Amino acid sequence: MRVLFVTTEMDDFVRVGGLAAVSAALPRALRLWSDIRILLPGYRDVVEQFTHIQIVGHCAARAEMPACTLGRASTKDGLPVYVLLCPQLYDRPGNPYGDENGRDWPDNDIRFARLASAAAELAAGTLDRNWAADLVHVNDWQAALVPAYLAWSGANIPSILTLHNLAYQGLFPKESLRRIGAPETSFHIDGLEFYDKLSFLKGGIVYASHLTTVSSTYAREITTPEFGCGLEGLLRQRSNASELTGILNGIDESWDPTSCAQLAQPFGAGDWEGKRANADYVRKQFGLAVSRGPMFGLVARLVHQKGIDLVLSAADEIIGSGGQIVVTGSGEPEIERALVDAHRLRPDAIGVVIGFNDGQARRIFAGSDFTLMPSRFEPCGLSQMYAQRFGSLPIGHQTGGLAETITDGETGFLFSQPSIDSFLGGIRRAFATFRAKDRLDSMRRSAMARSFSWDMSAAYYSALYRKFAAP
């Protein structure tokens, strides 16, 4: 089965959030069942990492979207990757979505509509003369219009849209309709229109053959007003028609503390001296005081959704009780500043590095006793899975994927409300466990024994592919 997997991030090349990890791992897990190929925008970071890109096709200009070229390359392990080459759209500083100051690019409508329209052409076999898709799997709002362009062109190719985070919808003024070459007739309540704006994500929800999201709990939550971001009615309709499926993400096999080369010292369950060696390394790296108290890690995108304000509110009690906090990530400038300010006030107890480095993140999970995850909502979340594999017990809000992957009182701690009082309840339970060494040992062993392999998720996706791509 020939599957085109359209994404805007992939850990091999460029990462902003969890989508990058999924886009690197899931297609690899699916290679057992399919001829799966990735399509990525030709960002500078992507193009520079290939030694050779073979040009296989050209896209003509369309509306205000410039002409572009399609290249084909492959990863070191042979996974085929198509790269959409259009320097005026993608060869820019900053991240895939915005400039170095965190501001969205003003032409993101054109940038990602160009990706979606090219994907539809590639799937239909008009770009790479040697390949066409039996099914297209698209991810988040940036690729969500692929099913729409397929429908507008009359191509009868099934599509699956995965909703990684409904809060990011790709909203643009109505004028964008003309800029991206979408038919005027598509701008209505049962099409792309969302409160008089154009919604890329809604377009995907309307036109895709099937929707998936990244946990069963989140699949239920997004059909409610609290989590549906204004799209709950449409999502409820698709859910009632059995057209919305929750499939939990996995993590790749490199998250194994016994063999991870990036740790200060590998360790296994019961080897708490090895875990302590990682803690000592992290304390030294972040300039924290020598301590035998618990270390709380926070590895996350620094955005409101992740509840960073709750961590800042809880910091005094954590430190007052003998704990330390180590943070790495990047995101909203005001949240970054608040964390840096907290570090300046207590450099002995709060370590902060703005930015993301995979090795550093792994060492924080390995060295910390607990991982803070007070997300207001969390479609799936990966940090709680990484944390458990590395013996760091997650303290998470009982929502989305956190509710499905943390066993309360066995592999971590769940709290019921995204409020400071509820969060502090989870933190106090963690301190009590830290003081009860036998209980701490038992919970760590249970957490490290958990398997979050991609194999099960890939099998679910493969079954969906077969269902929709059947002749």
- Residue range 97-112, pLDDT digits in tens: 998 887 899 999 999 9
Place of tokens 């993101």: 108
**Which residue stretches of the chain have pLDDT < 50?**
none
Q: What local confidence, expressed as pLDDT, does residue 471 receive? A: 61
Using CB atoms within 10 Å of the CB of residue 418, give its burial: 0 to 12 exposed, 13 to 18 middle, 19+ buried: middle
- What does the alpha-carbon distance between residue 216 and residue 412 come to, in Å, rounded to a whole number? 20
- The pLDDT, as a whole number, for residue 6 is 98
Q: What are the pLDDT digits (tens) for 200-239?
A: 999 999 999 999 999 999 999 999 999 999 999 999 999 9
Q: Identify the DSSP state of 412.
A: B
Contact 389, 413 (CB under 8 A): no
Give pLDDT tens digits for 324-381. 999 999 999 999 999 999 999 999 999 999 998 999 999 999 999 999 999 999 999 9
Q: What phi, psi does 271 have (nearest 5°)?
A: -90, 70
Task: Please give the structure tokens belonging to residue 14.
Answer: 């460029």
CATH class of the domain whose range is 272-451: alpha beta
- The CA distance from 226 to 232, in Å, is 9
What pTM did the predictor assign? Answer: 0.93
What pLDDT is attached to residue 464? 95
2-250+455-469 has which CATH code?
3.40.50.2000
Question: What is the structure's pLDDT at 102?
Answer: 79
Where, residue-wise, is CATH 3.40.50.2000 in the chain?
A: 2-250+455-469, 272-451
Where does residue 159 fall: left (phi above 0), alpha (psi -120 to 50 degrees), or beta otherwise?
Answer: beta
